[in-house]
Structure 1
Amino acid sequence: MDFTHPRPLIVCGFGRSGTRMCANLLANAGVVELQGEIPREIAPGTLSWLSDVRAGAPADQPDRIYRLARSVFRDITPARPMDRPDAIWFGHKTPHHERHFDGYEAIFDHPEGLPVYVYCLRNPFHVWRSYRVMPWGGFDRASGFLKSWLRSVAAWERMLQVAPERVLLFNLDAMIHAPDRAAWLDETLFAPLGISAQTFRKPLEAIGNTNSAEAKLGVAPSPPPPGDLRVIARNRQAMAVVRAHFPWIEDEIRAGSGVGLFRT
């Protein structure tokens, strides 16, 4: 039996790093069926169950697990489910699911249906500014946040080592700084997924970040205390990531207190 099912697409990354913006952009394409977040408390069990089903699936039904997973993703996310019969991609957007990379690889193992991942990355200074003002932030100190952020980045780097051709990077800051956002998105996100602008449901400029801290709070969050900025700026691992993916930031830090970081 030939494999005829849409391929899995998983949007992940550290929280407050543009996962919702990325999902909004992708879901704007009519050929993408992207569900909302899988609740944290049931995600491990759900993926383990799907893995067990995959292990016992008949060899002559290669797309059975894909049909089941698509239905599961649609049913267990709290948001209104998306149902697009003509989709060429199906999946969900859930922060921190880079930690479940091995699980997805075990579930979706057909050579013609290997999953593609979009990892959302944002500079740690802005991520911490957003995290610290959210009521569910979960971090009391910048040091604890940074440790978790670096773990997420390490998981993404491992994904790149295992499946470099199937891991895309959505760098939120690079998109913001791009002189031509539409061109940047096409090169970075849409073209690699075979998505044409002809499938868009609305113009790209009409797609907003509905989950930003400002949208949630009604006002832009204030910059973190200088001490928090120093915790991040003095961490060699964090600054290596900053230099590689946000090169303009280090110059701003050297120029002063770093407050200029929060103009955008």
Structure 2
Amino acid sequence: MAFTHPRPLIVCGFGRSGTRMCANLLANSGVVELQGEIPREIAQETLSWLTAARAAAAPTQPERVYSLARSVFRDITPARPMDRPDALWFGHKTPHHERHFDRYEAIFDQPGGLPVYVYCLRNPFHVWRSYRVMPWGGFDRPGGFLKSWLRSVAAWERMRQVAPERVLLFNLDAMIRAPDREVWLGDALFAPLGLSVDTFRKPVETIGNTNSAEAKLGVAPSPAPLRDIKIIARNRQAMAVVRTHFPWIEDEIRPESGVGLFRA
């Protein structure tokens, strides 16, 4: 029996790393039904329920759990639910859901219907700069933030090892620096998901980040204190990620921190 149901698409990553921007870009395509965040307090319950539904599903109804999940994602989003009958992809965007990778893999296990994940990554200096000004930030000090950020990155690296062909990277900083945003997005997101410009509702260049600190607060966040920058820069694990995915960041941070901060 051929799999005909839309495939799951999960946008995840550490908070303040572009998950909303990524979701806005993907939902611009009429064949992507991407709901908003699953509230933290019901995420575990929702995924546990779907796992139980998958275990009880009849072998003759392989797509039934997918239909249930699509309805659940639509019903529990706090935002206006998205309903696109012609969608090829369905799912949601929720920061930190890389931690639930194994659950999604168990729920959506049908050949032809395996989930695709988009992990949103941003350099830790600017993630912390954004977090520290948000009223709901959740981190009092950069050390605690950094441990959490590194756990998220480790989860993403494991996802890539398990399902490399199904884990896409949305590097927010790289997109911002790209000379041609549409070309960059085509290579990083649109082509791998089979999204055509013909399905877009508006030009890519008109889509902004509605969840940025500046959009939320009305002003751009001020630079993090030098002591915070140094705490992050002296963490070898964090700097290994920075040098791999954000090799230009030293030139951006240097004026705030002083020469030699990024020396190995």
1:64 Cα deviation from its structure 2 partner:
0.3
Contact 2:123 2:246 in 1 (8 A): yes
* Stretches of structure 1 lacking an aligned partner (at least 5 in a row): 260-264
Partner of 2:19: 19
Q: Which amino acid aligns with 2:2?
A: D
| Deviation sequence 1:181-200 (CA, Å, 0-9, x none) | 11000010000000000000
- Tell me the secondary structure at the aligned position of residue 30 of structure 2: coil
How does 1:218-233 map onto structure 2 within 5 Å? 218-233=218-233
Partner of 2:75: 75
Q: Which amino acid aligns with 1:206?
A: T
Normalising by structure 1, we get a TM-score of 0.96
Partner of 1:134: 134
Rounded Cα–Cα distance in structure 2 between residues aligned with 1:138 and 1:186: 34
- Tell me the secondary structure at the aligned position of residue 132 of structure 2: helix
* Stretches of structure 2 lacking an aligned partner (at least 5 in a row): 260-264
Q: What's the C-alpha RMSD, in Å, of the aligned pairs?
A: 1.2
Rounded Cα–Cα distance in structure 2 between residues aligned with 1:198 and 1:145: 41
Moved >2 Å (runs of 4+): 250-256
| Deviation sequence 1:208-255 (CA, Å, 0-9, x none) | 100000000000010010000000000000000000000001344556
| Deviation sequence 1:81-102 (CA, Å, 0-9, x none) | 0000000000000000000000
Contact 1:108 1:115 in 2 (8 A): yes
Partner of 1:216: 216
Q: Which amino acid aligns with 1:73?
A: F
Rounded Cα–Cα distance in structure 2 between residues aligned with 1:202 and 1:47: 33
Rounded Cα–Cα distance in structure 2 between residues aligned with 1:10 and 1:72: 14
Q: How many residues align?
A: 259
How does 1:46-65 map onto structure 2 within 5 Å? 46-65=46-65
Rounded Cα–Cα distance in structure 2 between residues aligned with 1:4 and 1:171: 31
Contact 2:214 2:221 in 1 (8 A): yes
Q: Which amino acid aligns with 2:246?
A: F
1:174 aligns with 2:174: yes
1:256 Cα deviation from its structure 2 partner:
6.2
Q: Which amino acid aligns with 1:68?
A: L
- Tell me the secondary structure at the aligned position of residue 41 of structure 1: helix
How does 1:144-223 map onto structure 2 within 5 Å? 144-223=144-223
